[in-house]
Each structure stands twice: as C-alpha cells, then as structure tokens.
Structure 1
C-alpha cells in the first residue's frame, strides 16, 4: 500500500536532548503504522544547548531526513559571553536585578532584532530548498512545529507558493509564553510578534496545540480548526529498578529561579523539625539545571544537606530516576501564562507508578490531567497545610512499604494513540 508523504519541518531533532525533541521523534516513529510516510527537515549544524546521543538510536534508517545549514546568532553571541549566550539559548533568563550589562544587551538584541526568534535566518533558504522538493516529490501536506516559531513562517511561505495543506503545531504558546515579557521588547517588536502570530493562526489549514488553555487562547484569534494533541509517554527499554531506600523526592528537569516552590521548602523544614524519622529518611534529588536562587532558598530553610544534584542525564537515565524515586515533584511558575504548560515529563511521570506532587497555578491543565488519571496531588502555592498533610501521608505509606500511584485511563496518552489522532488530522486534510 502506498503511504501518504508528509513533510515535517522541525528544529529539535536527535542528537538534541531535552523535552523539545521528544514530541516529533515519537510521532515520526509511529506515523508509518497509520499509512503515512514522514519526511523530516532539520538543520544540519544546529546549536543545541543539550545533547543526548542515545536518542539517535530511535531514528529509523528508513526515514528520509533532509538537512540544510542554519546561521544562528548564539554562535556569534558567544564571543561576548559563551556561558551567557548558551544560558539564554536554553530559555534561562536571569532576574532583572541579577542581569549584567551583557545579559541586558543579549536579551534586547534577541527580542528586537530577531523576530520571531533567533532562527529567523533559516526561513528564506529553507523555503527555497523545500519549495523545489515539494514539487519534485508531490508533497501534499507540510507540518511545522514550534518553538522556534520562525519555522511556522516557512510553512506560511510554502503554502502561499505551492498551495500545500499546512498544519502548524504549537508545543508552546507564542506571545503569551512566560519569558516573552523578559525580552525587553519595544512596542514595535511586540506588535510585530502579534501580527506574525495572527497571520500564522489565520492562514494555517489546521492548528495543533498541546493544551486546552492554549486552544481557548488561539480560538480568540482564529476560526481555523484547532486540535489538542498533548505530549505523551512511550514504551522504553528501562527495567524496573529497586525503589530508593530513602524517602526521595525527585525533580526531573530545570528548576529555574521563578520555579522556586518556597512553600514546599517551608513544609519540609517543618516536617524535619517535627519528625525525627523524617529527618533520617529524607533525600532531595534534582536532575537537571538548578538556579542559584533555588539553591540559596534551600540553604535558608536548612535543606542543603539533603540535596543531591545531578547534571543533565540521558533520557533513559531520567526514566530510571523516575521509576526508583519515592515521590516525583512537578513544579510550575505561579502565573496565568503557565496554566497551559504541560511538561512532557508529566506523562512519563504518570506511567512510572510513583505518586506525583505538583505545585502550580490554579485551574491549570496539569491539575485537570492529574485528577483525571488519579496519578498525583496538585496544589497551589498557597496550599501549605494541604501539602504538609499529603507529604505526611506519602511518608506514612513509604514507611509501611506500600507507597505507589493508582493510575487510571492512561492509554490515551500513549505516543502510539496520540499519533493515531495526528494521522486522522493529516488524512482528513488530504
């Protein structure tokens, strides 16, 4: 049976590490099962802030991968400050009071000279290359995935030129993402971002988002069909390691300055003072970047001696940490802008059989999913007493040897099921 060819335009692709690469790596893995042949277009010389060579093993040799060079300003910004340019490329932006002159300069240039983002120079050469490829190979559907949202501009140009069906996938929002306010945008830059966002949303044939909150936001800008396809979990080769002997609370991923749950640190301090056994058993594991602000706050609450820091690890190693930890922490910034953020790790957390303790803004999509799947407890930053009660209950179950989650209805979040939903959108467009 002849498969339908679909061109997928992405920036993050193995050996890139981190959450940005997982979504389309997994879609590409399963699309052939549903009669679709993915053709992937990515940069040949990207500046990925995180590398995970092990993800290359998941890329099938049967997949056509097209590559073209990209010019990225982060390489040139490195002459000013290699560490600062790399930090900003990861999306880690220092607090205003902690920003040096170089920080402010890099942020101003990034926000106002590179609209919509620092990969904008890839748009024109990519369009020229792909416009010919689409014609030569009879491609009928193009999918762009962002951020970086400049990739959607490639889809916009290809649609205008060849009339292809164009699906725009938004892993994160555009102008309402939390860090947007920190880019020191001029009024002109703000309006330019909004205009580009509106044009993409109104011209794409189909829009995909990862959360209901983002769908609601975009519905106020466009009347084009919007589908929610979340991230998910996949089968993995990681076995079930023995659980940690200590009462371990583990956070996987970056713990940045604004993602600093002081209410949790306060609760832990009180539990340490009130329960001698708790003080003997507690361990905190942070896998990924941890800001100096978070470490300083932990020190203030007397928790530094309980902290075990681990730098970035491979994806499989992260899954191992998830499966062996007693409790998994999920922390989000307390703001309206983050209600739509559903971290990719949430779904891997959910199938780890470990209870999740999540803290974030009220009425978030994460809160809805946790309640729906019975995989954890969600709290706001003001829920001191409730957090304390829950941690004590977790600790009691840990001491009794029966601490685990009791998940329900997880199958719809499998990467295979999610890819089936994607395939229906693609074939419907055709």
Structure 2
C-alpha cells in the first residue's frame, strides 16, 4: 500500500482512559503509524483530543448524549472537585426535563448515541471532500459511527470497512421493539454498503451472515496491548488468596452465582475465609448488585471503584486469580469480553464464568485455565476450591502450566491492514 494512502477513522469513543470501546482504536494508532498509514480521526468530545494527529471532535444533538459529553468535558477541567460537583448538578437540572421528553419521543436506546449521527455524517462528508481519504474505517460500540460513515461511503464511493464491537441483532441485545427494528436496519445498511464487516467473535459473524450471506464478514480478535502490560508477579508470596474482578458489574453480569458458590466454599473449607480476599475494580450499576455485595456475610470483599487502565493492569498482575464474568443471558453466546485478552497475556490463573459460549470456553481452557458455567454454583465452587488448594501448596503461579497467548493488538492490526488493503485495491 502506498504510504500516502489515508484512513478516516470514525468512532464515538476515542482516547478515553478506562473505556474498552475506545481502546480498540487507541491501541492500534501507534501501530498504524509504524506502518506509515496516515490517519484522520473523528470522534465525540467524550475523550481527549490527539494533539499529534488530525483529530476532529463533534458534539451530539440529542440531550442525553450531549449531557454525558459535557460531563466528560467538565471532568477534564482544572476546576476544584467542589466546582465540578456543582456544575454537574446544574447540568443535571437543566438537561433532565429535556432528556425525559426525548426518551418519551425517541425510544432507540441509549447505547446507540443516535444524536451523534447527523453531526458525524456532516463532518465525515466535509473531511472526505477536503482530504479525500482512500478508506473509511468505523468502529463501535455506538452504531452512530457506522450510520454516519455508511451514508457518506454510499454517496462518495470511498471504500468502507465497519467493525462491530458488539452484535446489533440478537436475543437480549436490545430492549424496546423500536430499538430492535432500528438496529436491524443499521445492520442491513452496514452489510449492503461496507466492503468488509469485522466481528470480534466467530459466532457473531456466523449469526449475521445467516441473515446476509454476502461473504463480507471477517473475524478479528481485538487482542491485548502488550506494550502496557506489566511484568509477571508471583502472588504465592502474598498472605491472601485473592481473586480479582476488573470491569463493570451491571444487569445479568453480576456476582450473584459467584458469591453463592464462594459462601459454600467457605463452609466446605473453613480456613479459607480468613485467608481470602475478593478485590473488585470498576463500576457497580444497580441497587440489587450492590446489595449482593453489601449483604455477603463474610467481610472479604474490597471495592476499589474505577481506576486508570495502567493501574488496573498492575493490580491484575498482583491477584492470585483473575475472575471473568459474562452476562447470564443470550448476548453472551456471541460476545467475548475484551478483558480476557489481557488476562490471557498476563498468564495469571483465570476463573471464567461463561454463559453458553463454546468459543470463549475453548479459548480460556486451551490456555490452561478453568471455566465454569456462569449460573452453575456447584461448578463455580469446585473451581474456587481447586485454585485455593493449588495456592495453598504454592503451585498456583507455576507459569509453565498457562499457555502463552498470541492474541495481541499487533496481530489484530496486521489483520486489519490486510482487510483495508484488499478493500482499497478492489476500489481501484
């Protein structure tokens, strides 16, 4: 590929620490630069601006998305915490009535950031006219990036590849009937217009291609960013058998079954409770999930809240076992949490609570780790006790038993470049 070839990369989230949807793009930018790809970026105001690249950011026109974007902008100011809190309260008061009215009229679902479609479409068109990119690459997450780029690609004829970080259609994926229809339409636009459609799981690709058998699907695992993963740390030297969960807990992705299994494990192994710690990092959303944690009868849970990505990786490397929890519903059959790639590369023991996902189960077990059904308390209890016995004997951190992972960002970027090259070549 000629080094003058330009990519226009469009994603709602970019350069936002702790946001997995942003990391997909953020991690690949240095590698694209090494491969002499010239990139132009378009995103929302949620993340920081890349100063060394042409990075255009635009605001949404929907009240709900705009409120969130202004909130992110406030967090980046140098104001005192008290002023930030006051400002956030004022924004909430001003925006709440409009957001409430908007939700009554438009029930497309907050996950789509629909209010970003029009500003992103106009901006994408202007960039394409001014800079004439050779490729448009959208990634999300929010489908607004795909709809904006799809319309412009159809009009201009510029080759477009769309990366679906999550499936758009399927059981338990969307809530309202309107949302289901809207996302199904988005999927149709993507498949009928894009040169290639990138999925992050084989099952997601096969499910979508059953509806659109056009041969456009490609699977690329996002992989681990090995440049920021810390060195291996042996946890057997520590006093506590610690299991760490990193990431948000929400809806059916919660600790209900894990905590029930842990309580049974403590009964079966009475000495374990005094030597155990459950370390939780990330957001907790929902009163029911908070109650599950607060009402656990053993005082072994430490909640640390949300921390920066690099700090999270350091804490992951210090845990005896890394806990991966999938949603206990059908969306999990076609998705793989991006956190698993960091876990695998760290070569720390993993306890994967997997729901109806043979692809993820095989991935974890093939690297030497343990998988239990996400809703099977007996299986989870056995896995906890098995790891505890290994830790007690000093065998848990024998790194040889865990297969090195080659699912990396570098590999993903190589695959992405090949897809881009073929798409550009077809258009010439």
| TM-score calculated relative to the size of structure 2 | 0.82
Match for residue 372 of structure 2? Answer: 379
Change (3 A) 1:108 1:190: farther
Matched-pair contact (CA < 8 Å) for 2:112–2:143: no
CA RMSD in angstroms comes to 2.8
Match for residue 228 of structure 2? Answer: 236
Matched-pair contact (CA < 8 Å) for 1:205–1:224: no
Match for residue 327 of structure 2? Answer: 333
Change (3 A) 1:13 1:323: same
Q: Cα offset for 1:36?
A: 2.1
Q: Cα offset for 1:16?
A: 4.7
Q: Residue 210 in 1 paired to residue 203 in 2?
A: no
| 3-state SS in 2 of match to 1:152 | helix
Match for residue 302 of structure 1? Answer: 297
Match for residue 22 of structure 1? Answer: 23
Matched-pair contact (CA < 8 Å) for 1:248–1:285: yes
Matched-pair contact (CA < 8 Å) for 2:138–2:149: yes
Aligned equivalents of 2:414, 2:215: Cα separation in 1:
21
Q: Cα offset for 1:106?
A: 5.0
Match for residue 345 of structure 2? Answer: 351
Q: Residue 427 in 1 paired to residue 416 in 2?
A: no
Q: Cα offset for 1:350?
A: 1.0
Q: Residue 402 in 1 paired to residue 395 in 2?
A: yes
Match for residue 256 of structure 2? Answer: 262
Matches within 5 A, 1:21-420: 21-43=22-44, 45-46=45-46, 62-74=52-64, 109=103, 112-114=106-108, 119-176=113-170, 178=172, 180-181=174-175, 184-186=176-178, 189-222=179-212, 223-234=214-225, 235-236=227-228, 238-240=230-232, 243=235, 244-290=238-284, 291-303=286-298, 305-374=299-368, 376-404=369-397, 406-408=401-403, 410-411=405-406, 413-420=407-414
| 3-state SS in 2 of match to 1:427 | helix
Matched-pair contact (CA < 8 Å) for 2:61–2:119: no
Change (3 A) 1:128 1:333: closer
The total of aligned residue pairs comes to 389
Match for residue 92 of structure 2? Answer: none
Matched-pair contact (CA < 8 Å) for 1:201–1:221: no
Q: Cα offset for 1:2?
A: 2.7
Please list every run of 5 or more consecutive structure 1 residues that lacks an aligned counterpart in the other structure: 83-101
| 3-state SS in 2 of match to 1:334 | coil
Aligned equivalents of 1:120, 1:266: Cα separation in 2:
39
Matched-pair contact (CA < 8 Å) for 2:121–2:152: yes
Please list every run of 5 or more consecutive structure 2 residues that lacks an aligned counterpart in the other structure: 72-95
Change (3 A) 1:42 1:349: same
